[in-house]
Chain A
Amino acid sequence: MSENSHAIVTDGLTKRFGRMRALDQVSAHVPRGSIYGLMGPNGAGKTTFIRCLLNLLNPTCGTGTVLGYDVVRDSVAIRQRVGHVAALQPLWDWMSVEEFGAFMAGCYPRWNREAVSTVLDRIGMDRQAKLGMLSRGQRAVVSIAVAIGHDPEMLLLDEALTGLDPIARREVLREVIEAMHEEGRTVFITGQDIADMERICDHVGFLIKGRLAVESPLDDLKARVKRIRVEHPAGDAPELPAGTREVARNPRETVFAVIDYSSELLRSLDAPGQRVAVDDLSLEDIFMILAQPQTESSE
């Protein structure tokens, strides 16, 4: 996998805490210029993954590169090129927005005041407001504004949308889109709200119990995973293709999901006296299907 075409590549990245495997052989590929959404339930390992990328945690085994730099050896180079917003980012409550910006500017050799201002202006942020007085949505936007101050090539946003009200969520979504559009910047975002992620992501990964169960361009996933209904009012139940999931057999109808849909597969189901319908699925349905173990071939 080329390090030029990918902003993040990991190979078998594993992190154990005692006997618990927080990350288990994660091989992820985040294309440059994409908005990549890493989803999964609480405790699936999303934050651990980000922390390994920034060398805030040492991987137990496996390797990874961010923007071509090794996550263990080159963490300084990585942090200069990446903007990070942690989950529930702690901010110094007594600082004003202005002071916070100035403080962060001091941490980097270059600072793009204009880019930060543009973001703050979009939500009409008062620069003298104390961080402690801001709403969660405002804090999220301020965190993003400051995270792009050093013109990073990539943004890592951990749970940036989680727990926000609808209006604040829209504001943050907008900032992610704006941030991404600058020079094809890559955005890596974790979260749980699948609908929000589906809006903005073009690539998705799904982490379950530390394992990367799915990784795909979003559109491919939607084209591949389908629910098929075969109505057989008179005849016998159809023979199912291999690898079907979620099989439900009713007297005159058989419903199942496939993860490798194609027109050939559809043709193979064609039989006299039988009607076949193919349903598109939402991302949520797709994840539920892929998270389940495969059914053994019928009967």
Chain B
Amino acid sequence: MLDSIDPKSAIPIYQQITVQIRRGVAAGMLVPGDQLPSVRELAAQLLVNPNTVARVYRELEREGLLETRRGQGTFISAKAEVLADSERGRLIEEQLREVAKDVWGFGLTEEAALELFRNVLADCTRTRKERR
């Protein structure tokens, strides 16, 4: 996590970093109380502008996902647990929206699309069980 930035990507760098932190929280890789690197450390580690990292921290702090303790650093906030739930929903929704565009574009019916999704879900569940 927090290790790969693609400067050639069309997605702005601050957004790439934001998404990685959000995903980390949603996936339980970052939990309340975890300390994030300082702005300077993360900027040097990712080789990006410190202003960009500062902006990411500021925005996520305003959302309540992060909190800054004076003189100590930036941490995943206690509220992140609650936010993680809605975050998970939001991340899935985002991807489904992309799929929905194609469903519409290809002229599939709603029923056909749902049927496909059900099959994919069933397939994934089966594979997971077999692995265990």
Chain A residues within CB distance 8 Å of chain B: 33-35, 170, 173-174, 177-178, 180-181, 195-196, 198-202, 218-219, 222, 231, 275, 277, 279-282, 284-285
Assess the A275–B104 pair: CB atoms within 8 A: yes
Could you list some 24 contacts between A and B, CB below 8 A?
A33-B51, A170-B47, A173-B47, A174-B47, A177-B44, A177-B48, A178-B40, A180-B50, A181-B43, A181-B50, A195-B7, A195-B8, A199-B47, A199-B48, A200-B49, A202-B51, A218-B12, A219-B14, A222-B10, A222-B12, A275-B101, A281-B10, A282-B9, A282-B10
Assess the A181–B104 pair: CB atoms within 8 A: no
Residues on A with C-beta less than 8 A from B8 are 195, 198, 282, 284
> Is the C-beta of B13 less than 8 angstroms from some C-beta in chain A?
yes
Contacts A181-B40, A219-B14, A282-B8 hold; do A200 and B48 have CB atoms under 8 A apart? yes
Residues on B with C-beta less than 8 A from A231 are 105
Complex Cα spacing A298 to B86, Å = 46
Q: How far is the CB of B75 from chain A (nearest CB, A)?
A: 21
Assess the B49–A35 pair: CB atoms within 8 A: yes
Residues on A with C-beta less than 8 A from B5 are 199
Q: How far is the CB of A176 from chain B (nearest CB, A)?
A: 9
Chain B residues within CB distance 8 Å of chain A: 5, 7-14, 40, 43-44, 47-52, 101, 104-105
Residues on B with C-beta less than 8 A from A202 are 49, 51-52
Complex Cα spacing A18 to B101, Å = 58
Q: Which 7 A-B pairs have the closest CB atoms?
A: A280-B10, A199-B7, A195-B7, A198-B7, A173-B47, A195-B8, A202-B51
Assess the B10–A199 pair: CB atoms within 8 A: no
Given contacts A219-B14, A275-B104, A282-B8, 7 further A-B contacts (CB under 8 A): A174-B47, A219-B12, A277-B101, A281-B10, A282-B9, A282-B10, A285-B10
Assess the A177–B49 pair: CB atoms within 8 A: yes
Assess the A178–B13 pair: CB atoms within 8 A: no
Q: How far is the CB of B18 from chain A (nearest CB, A)?
A: 12
Residues on A with C-beta less than 8 A from B11 are 280
Assess the A199–B49 pair: CB atoms within 8 A: yes
Assess the A177–B43 pair: CB atoms within 8 A: yes
Q: How far is the CB of B51 from chain A (nearest CB, A)?
A: 5
Q: How far is the CB of A12 from chain B (nearest CB, A)?
A: 29
Assess the A177–B14 pair: CB atoms within 8 A: no
Q: Which residue of B lies closest to A33 (CB)?
A: B51
Q: How far is the CB of A171 from chain B (nearest CB, A)?
A: 10
Q: How far is the CB of B42 from chain A (nearest CB, A)?
A: 10
Q: Which residue of B lies closest to A284 (CB)?
A: B8
Complex Cα spacing A180 to B43, Å = 11
Complex Cα spacing A280 to B16, Å = 13
Complex Cα spacing A279 to B9, Å = 11
